[in-house]
Structure 1
């Protein structure tokens, strides 16, 4: 399969490396610095203190000349989906499929409006893939788990069975060592992941605390759970059909699945003054809750309290881009 991984952060490099190891023809779209670092050099993939070198990856900063891919995996931040869609207009063919793996719940629908719903696969992924440099990535903990599906145009939660083309994508990912599966409720999967990351990451950002620290204080741990319940209320108002077992799953992940020093990516970005996905995580919860008339006081506090950091980071980033520092 010809695969374009659009985005060369930790997640993009991880997926590209695993697919290339499995024998797929992989191209990565990255910035110029990534292209320079990987030109003629292998990608180093670290896990449990050992590493492998992956050489069969093409890295480009301009995708206009690449061979038309069968699958495009979009690994940018949620706020970059619109710009990516414009860039993807050249390599897309009628048979191409684009898999979204953004945090939040809105990327698949946004992309569908831009390139056509028939081309979009919605996905969630759970993995800690830390980019060590432009040419090295470390997998911390387990290999990735992924859920894929299709958002339907109507009120139903998903498409029960994959098409042959979608099944081919699932099989390729599984063959690369990623625990990928098809779900008939991808809307539920998207909201379930958001309930986890926006809650522990949002409370962690407000408290300035790691997962281990928020778990150790009963009042703070209860606040994280209450934040999760708020997200479930919004999700179910949209037809996501999440229940007690789903809540139990993400609570177990929060309580047992993370090392004590874990922090969420949004939380880390906010802490160091980088633009984050605040608008696409807690902001999305608040926006959908407002539209649906659902009460989400915890997420409103998280969102409002972090807006100062977020807006400052975006002003600084814009000034650096334009040279007006």
Structure 2
């Protein structure tokens, strides 16, 4: 049986790993001791569609044990890299004992370009990008809940065999799996939706509550329009990752509340508990992925000779609130939770 390792198992990685284990897949998790302690006895898996599984006997690998091993000493067939974007560089060094020439490495990061350090470090390996569209929350200790829609999507290999095998093994009610030949366009489409992660972190409320307020939706729509200007210039046609075409999403977000509720009812089909990963990072005092999300739009726009002022302001605000050196002077008056009006005023500034 093929062996799988989930490296950097937080909420998403633990959910994927527990789903694999429940399906009879040979999988081990590499995670922090506190996470291992929560999942060691049993794990409850649920989702917004009321699917359920109880999982016991998860396998774990200690990061301290890995650190003492030589490269290739404890190799696996499939290595799922579920660390945050800013953790990839360190992870590349840590995963060496797990990687042989035959190991397939799957990069599950948000944002764009995080797979490049992995490809550079392991040029002889198959490195596939994976798009994870759904949120996972911990409702209580050991209870992981998938709170939103979407299929875990794996990049299609040249001959398709590796990706198709993974889909066949993993596709299930709790973990729906799809394949794509155009991962770059799909990641841009996912990035469009992820631009709201920062707004959720700043609003300091659940995602559903945020989407029910037009003021916050107007801010997100502005961020999305800047991204669409970039992808239009790059000639990238964004695939649908929601029931709406990507270009229509900003227009729908701008609708009055009563129309938005009617038109975008599936967008609101989000568990009331769900908050974004950036909210979790900020709430726990951890580094955020803002440079790989809104910051990626800013960087791409600058390379094209364009501007993305709204995204640039949001990047500055997130960084001012998470900086160990104190807030930037012109943003020092803002602190979480930040109202929709404050955010609108901020992104309108010249």
TM-score, scaled to structure 2: 0.75
Quick check: 1:45–1:54 contact (8 Å CA) kept in 2? no
Backbone CA RMSD of aligned residues: 3.2
Where does the alignment leave 5 or more consecutive residues of structure 1 unmatched? 151-158, 316-325
Aligned equivalent of 1:189: 186
Q: Is the 8 A contact 1:5 1:29 kept in 2?
A: yes
Distance 1:17 1:260 in 2: 23
CA distance in 2, matches of 1:295, 1:312: 28
* Distance of 1:144 and 1:67 partners within structure 2: 33
Looking at structure 1, the residues matched to 5 and 116 of structure 2 have their Cα atoms a distance apart, in angstroms, of: 21
1:319 paired residue number? none
Alpha carbons 2:147, 2:273 under 8 Å: kept = no
- The answer for the alignment partner of 1:270 in structure 2 is 282
Name the TM-score, length of structure 1 as normaliser. 0.80
Shift of 1:202: 2.4
Match of 1:42 in 2: 42
Residue 222 (structure 2) aligns with: 226
**Aligned-residue offset at 1:16:** 0.8
Q: Deviations over 1:171-214 (max 9, x none)?
A: 2221584221111110111111111112x222334444543444
- Tell me, in whole angstroms, the C-alpha distance in 1 between the residues paired with 2:33 and 2:209: 39
Query: How far apart are the structure 1 equivalents of 2:124 and 2:303?
Result: 23
1:240-269 CA-to-partner distances (Å, cap 9, x unmatched) read 322782344796588423345643221342
Deviates more, 1:250-259 or 1:82-91: 250-259
Cα pair 2:21 2:55 within 8 Å, conserved: no
Aligned match of 1:77: 84
- State the alpha-carbon separation in 2 of the partners of residues 256 and 57 from structure 1: 36
More strand by share: 1
More helix by share: 1
The answer to whether the 8 Å contact 1:77/1:102 transfers is yes
* Structure 1 CA distance for aligned equivalents of residues 85 and 170 of structure 2: 22
Say if 1:123 and 1:147, in contact at 8 Å, map to a contact too. yes
Q: CA deviation at 1:21?
A: 1.2
Identify unmatched segments of 5+ residues in structure 2: 253-263, 328-350
Q: Which moved more, 1:58-67 or 1:20-29?
A: 58-67
CA contact (8 A) 1:21 1:176 kept: no
Task: Tell me if the contact between 2:8 and 2:83 (Cα under 8 Å) persists in the aligned partners.
Answer: yes
Q: In the aligned structure 1, how far is the partner of 2:311 from the partner of 2:128?
A: 28
- Structure 1 241/312 Cα, relative in aligned 2: closer, same or farther at 3 Å? same
Q: Residue 57 of structure 1 aligns with which residue?
A: 59
1 CA distance for matches of 2:266 and 2:287? 25
Q: What is the CA distance between 1:308 and its match in structure 2?
A: 1.1
